[in-house]
Each structure stands twice: as structure tokens, then as C-alpha cells.
Amino acid sequence: MNDPVVKNPWSALRAYTDARIGLGRAGISVPTHELLNFQLSHAKARDAVHLPLHVNALLEGFARLPLDIRLLGEGKAEGLLQEGVSPILLHSQAQSRDSYLQRPDLGRRLDDRSRQSLEALQQGASYDLAIVVVDGLSSLAIHENALTFIQTLTKELAKDTQEWKLAPFCIVEQGRVAIGDEVGELLHVKSVVVLIGERPGLSSPDSLGLYMTYAPKVGLTDAYRNCISNIRKEGLSYEEAAKKTLYLLKESRKLQLSGVAIKERAYEDETLKMTQEKNFLLN
């Protein structure tokens, strides 16, 4: 029996992308297996939005997270590692998932108890960087990627020639990107990095996003933030994302700004070299 599915010549390109291209057809319809795959991906995306943040698992992960003690400002011995840290648990003003989804404004501000705990913690200390983990629209992305990326990023920070003193790590439930501004302002940090679960796509329910802001304070718009997206095993690797983040942090510290005023040139030298080597017009 002949295959009832008419293949699309573009289907060969699916070896290079998760995008739904070259699906083929059965008569005038989408083939059944492609329709079922779409429904499965849609179900995974919905699950990622509603999956609760497993706070206890995150705390256990942080307790085992190897961290160069120089980043905590508690020691100067080169290469000395500390086993684990204890993050601060915070919550936005959205007290349930339903209110979080219906009232984005509530997800951008801390509730009274969280704000008071940070105010009590802050006693004149100053930090170079705060790393804030936020569930956002995909707790799955946090579970799958956050701790591994933090470990990769802190290794890069420890190797840098400049000193980076970290504020206590924070975990925020029912939070959105802008909540990092309030956390950073209360902790008196120079820069804040928010790791947040991105809005799930149909091929990437586990995508981690990163937003960096210099001199964070309540009321800043997205124009003051730099974003690195799609951090996950099948997307932007942890190593590449950490390299880009360190570049942005160093540029931000040097220029004392962030957002649209900073152009991302982390790979500019490599790109220029490749262009010169392969462009026949230059040979």
C-alpha cells in the first residue's frame, strides 16, 4: 500500500530545527501523526505554565551547589570552594497561579513579608551582583536549567580579573521579570540578573530566560534590561550563555548602564575573523 502522506521537500530542513516546517499532507489535511505531535507539544506547554515551583528541590540543589568562596566575600584563598548556600525565599503579591496569570502587575512586586525580610537583611552591605531565580511562566525551565547555569556562571565570575561580590541568592514564587528590580534595590546591588522561566513555545516548554539590569530600582522599563533567551540543553548552551552574561556584566559595570545602550559584541571578534576568512570578495 502506498504511503498516503505526501512528503514536503522542505522536510529535510527539520534536521536543523525544532520548528514545524515541511509537515507534508494527507489529502488536504495535516498528517495524523503531525497533528498528534502538535497536540502533545501544546499539552506540555500548558503543563509548564501550571506546574508549581518545587521549592524544596531547589533548596536542596542550592545546598549542594559548589561556589567559589571569593564570590561571597568571605575569604581570599584562591580556588577555595564552599559547599552549598541558602537562598532567601520570597513571594510576589500574586498569591495564587490564577491571580498571577490574570494580574501581571501583581507578579512584578514583592509582598509585604518578602519586602520586610530583605529590608531586615540589608544593613549597609553592598554587593556587585544579585542572582534572582523566578518561576515566571515555566517552572519546568527553572527545574531543568537554573542550578546548572548558576554553577557555570559563578565559575566564570570567579575566574574574572575583576572582583564580583554576590548578594544572597533569592528565589521568588509567582514572579515576573520586573520583580528583580525591587529585589536588587532592597539589597543595594550594582546589578541584578533574573533567571526566569520563559513563556513556553510549542517546541520549548523548558526555555530559561535571563535579564540583566544595572542599578535596579522599581519602575524601570524593559529598555533598561538586557536579555539572553532560550538557555537550555537543546538551545543556547550554559557555557555560551554564561560567556554572554559575563560580557554584559563587565560592559554594564564599565559604562554604568544597561539595556538598549549596550550593544552585545561578545562574539564580534570571532564573527569578523570568520567573515574575513570565508568572504571571497576579500581574497
Binding site, residues? 177, 198, 227
Distance CA 179, CA 37 (A): 35
CB of 260 within 8 A of CB of 227?
A: no
Q: Return the DSSP state at 218.
A: T
Residue ranges of the annotated binding site for adenosylcob(III)alamin are 177, 198, 227
CB of 229 within 8 A of CB of 209?
A: yes
According to DSSP, the β-strands at 88-91 and 170-173 are parallel
According to DSSP, the β-strands at 208-214 and 189-197 are antiparallel
Q: 3-state SS of 62-101?
A: HHCCEEEHHHHCCCCCCCCEEECCCCEEEEECCCCHHHHH
Host H or E run for residue 50: helix 32-50
